[in-house]
Structure formats: structure tokens, C-alpha cells
Amino acid sequence: MTSRRTRLRLLAVPLAVGALLSGAAPALAGGTGAGPGQGGPATADVVTTTRLGGQVAALTFDDGPNPHDTPRLLEVLAENDVKAVFCLWGDVVRQNPDLVRQIVAAGHTLCNHTMHHEDLATWTPEAVRADLEATSALIREVAPGAPIPYFRAPYGSWGQSAQVAADLGMQPLGWTVTIEDWETQDADVLTERLESRIRANPGAVVLLHDGPVMDRSGTVEAVARAIPELRAEGWRFHKPDRRG
């Protein structure tokens, strides 16, 4: 990956973006209509919660798949019977088609994360649409028929992409909680952040990473430790809301 992308990742502000645009949009080919969350067609509102009450959270993983860490992550999720959302980077999908198929076969949900992981802040709607359509086409080339109900903008920099994604039937997906796993891969630190921040934010969409920009073994270990602890306290894991 280029040094520019790495710098942008390190400089990204780890905050939920909130709603940028309003109004319902028709669900078209990109997201196959009403999705697997709490119901309704895609809108241009950036969803950041599960819209469920009580001790519930949604785990989402960006920038993958990664042949070094995603297989172990899939094992951890399977061992704990947790389904997650994987936000796939097109360039990486092209390099790891078998891993995409493994994600789909395990019953996880896919999210379009653009082809080249670029900042979309100043892109025209036409350019955004071309990129998102190409990314979805690539994902479906390696995993035919797989629904792609969500879209997440790289770095949380939406520009006009939220409306474009909704027009394509994909719900823009933000987050409430992040553990800054681009700053450290110390499993002890990440586990504490993951557990404490989920506890403090019931219903949260949690941003994590399994992409190949850096080692992600600490993130995977944090997930492996945190899920049983939270489950013992009564926490459940669910998909994000389908609409804003």
C-alpha cells in the first residue's frame, strides 16, 4: 500500500460521521433491496448503531481481507457464533478471492469499501458511482450472488458518497466506537478498549480492522478475548441497522 494511504489512515479522525444527507432512496442492484438489519430500504443517512435496545453491539471489520489475520478472525467468530460485517477493499479482494468466499460461506455480511481506498471528499457523484459499481462487480465476480447491503467511505470521509450508495441500494455505514487499532496492536490495550467502549455505548457499531496495511493479530486477539467476557455479562452481537 502506498505511504499516502498509510498517512491518511493514521490521520483519520476516529469519530462517527452522523447523517450527511437525508431522504429515502430506491434500493437498486447494489444492495439487493431491504437488508439484513432492522428493516427498510437504504437511505442516505449514515447508520452508527444497531437500533436495538440493551446490551447489543455490531462488529465491523475494514480494509480486508488479509491472508495473515482474516482466517484466524473467522475462526474466532465461528467459535463464538458471532456474525460480523466485513467492509472489503477492492484491490485486496482481487488479491484474496478465496478469503472473500470464506467470509460469505461463514454467513457474514459484506460491505463495499471502494476499489482503491481513496478519500472521497471531493469526488463527483459520477466518479463515486463508477467506483462503487466496479467494487461491487468485483466482489460478485469472486463471490457470485453475495448481497452487499452496506457501504463505508474510507476514513469516514463521505463527500457525496452516502447519497450515491443509497441510490445503489447500499446503506452508508458509520460507527459509534473505535479502538484505534491503527495506532497499536498491543492485545492488552485493544482488549481493554474494546470491552470498556462497548459497555459504555449500548447498541454501538464498532469499527475494527483486518486489512493488510499492518499486522492485525492484536485486533484478532482482542476480539477473541472480549467476546466471551461480554457474552458472560449478557451482551449480544447483531448486524448494524439497515437505515439511518
Between 16 and 219, the higher pLDDT residue: 219
Q: How far is CA 8 from CA 3, 111, 184, 236, in A?
A: 9, 21, 16, 33
The chain-wide mean pLDDT, for the chain, equals 87
Model confidence at 47: pLDDT above 80: yes
Residue 25 binned pLDDT confidence (cut-offs 50, 70, 90)? very low
- Interval 167-183 mean pLDDT: 97
Cell match 439487493: residue?
32
Model confidence at 33: pLDDT above 70: no
Q: How far is CA 91 from CA 83, 174, 213, in A?
A: 24, 21, 12
Q: What is the pLDDT at residue 22?
A: 29
The pTM (predicted TM-score) of the whole model is 0.85
Model confidence at 175: pLDDT above 80: yes
Q: What is the pLDDT at residue 151?
A: 98
pLDDT in tens, 104-133: 999 999 999 999 999 999 999 999 999 999
- Interval 213-218 mean pLDDT: 96
Q: What is the pLDDT at residue 40?
A: 66
Question: Which class is domain 3-12+24-237?
Answer: alpha beta
The answer to which of 12-16, 164-168, 213-217 has the lowest mean pLDDT is 12-16
Q: State the burial class of residue 72 (Cβ atoms within 10 Å of its Cβ: 0-12, 13-18, 19+).
A: middle
Alpha helices by DSSP H, listed for 46-105, are 70-79, 90-95, 97-105
Model confidence at 221: pLDDT above 50: yes
Residue 242 binned pLDDT confidence (cut-offs 50, 70, 90)? confident
pLDDT in tens, 51-109: 998 999 999 999 999 999 999 999 999 999 999 999 999 999 999 999 999 999 999 99
Annotated catalytic sites, by residue? 62, 209
